[in-house]
Amino acid sequence: MAQHRPYTTVVLAMSADGKIADFRRSPARFGSRADKAHLEKQIAASDAVLLAAGTLRAYGTTLTVSHPTLLQHRIQDGKPTQPVHIVVTHSGKLNPEIKFFTQPIKRWLLTTTAGASVWQGRSEFDKILVFETPTGQTDTVAALRHLASIDITRLAVLGGGQLVASMISLDLIDEFCLTVCPLILGGATAPTPVEGSGFLSDLAPRLKLLEVSTVEQEVFLHYQVQRH
């Protein structure tokens, strides 16, 4: 584990051509029941879940732990039945009417001073974390350092591509769990697991394949980020 932050795993499903949604950025619901079970297992193994506001806006909800065995394991480990779900947004602009705000989970907001002002005096979030860079962006490095200080040791990142790209560039990702689904989405503007400005090939982060498995038509890839 990297020092002073949680061990962080990106968990995403993508099409065979590497898209996490279609060109309209519709909610990606092309994963199978096996993929959903895989995602739930990764969430259940985490102390907290991190998702970008854009991902939450697309789905309006998050996945909670419901499988009895996974719930039992969390209770036996002395954990609450659900991990904390943390939404990352610079602006704080979210619809308070979406289903996410009625789900039986602890909701935290990671944002800037401006974003926090939108939710001051409201009850939708159990905690508001303000970590801001000098340029007015969310300070993810400081935020993860804080999470580690309050015993959040494992973090699952559920997207989107801009958040994942920024975290990779800051060396904040340890593993990728990617499900390759049997469809082609195409589209120059369709989002991918990692967006941002990209990496030159000789400077690109390298991965070590830890495990590969197939369930019917889907391929499950488990990578570890290599560090030198």
pLDDT(2) > 70: no
Tokens at residue 27, please?
A: 């909610």
Q: Which of 1-15, 35-49, 84-98, 124-138 has the lowest mean pLDDT?
A: 1-15
Is 1 inside a domain boundary?
no
In-domain check, residue 216: yes
Q: Is the pLDDT of residue 160 over 70?
A: yes
**pLDDT of amino acid 29:** 87
Question: Is a pLDDT exceeding 80 seen at residue 3?
Answer: no
Does the pLDDT at position 44 exceed 60?
A: yes
Closest CA to 178 of 22, 31, 44: 31
- Whether 27 maps to a domain, the answer reads yes
| pLDDT at res. 38 | 97
Q: What's the mean pLDDT in 186-197? A: 95
Find the mean pLDDT for residues 76-91.
97
Look at the block and give the residue holding tokens 């996490």. 20
Domain that holds residue 202: 7-225
Q: What gap in Å lies between CA 149 and CA 172, rounded to an integer?
A: 16
Q: Give the pLDDT mean for 126-135.
A: 96
More confident residue, 155 or 28: 155
Q: What is the CATH number of the domain that holds 33?
A: 3.40.430.10
Does residue 169 belong to any structural domain of this protein?
A: yes
Give residue 1's pLDDT: 45
What pLDDT does 26 receive? 87
| Contact predicate 28/13, CB 8 Å | yes
Q: What is the mean pLDDT of the chain?
A: 95
136 versus 7: which is more confidently predicted?
7
Q: Which residues contact 34 (CB under 8 A, 6 or more apart)?
A: 215, 216, 218
The confidence band for 28, taking pLDDT boundaries of 50, 70 and 90, is confident
Question: 137-168 burial, b for 16+ CB within 10 Å, e for fewer?
Answer: ebbbbebbebbbeeebebbbbbbbbbbbbbbb
User: Is residue 120, in this structure, part of any structural domain at all?
Assistant: yes
DSSP 157-189: E---HHHHHHHHHTT---EEEEEEES-----TT
- With CA atoms as reference, report the closest residue to 53 among 102, 123, 100: 100
Residue 94 forms part of a structural domain: yes
- Residue 228's pLDDT is what? 72
Q: Return phi, psi of residue 72, to 5°.
A: -65, -40
Cα 61 to its chain centre, rounded Å, is 13
Count structural domains, the chain: 1
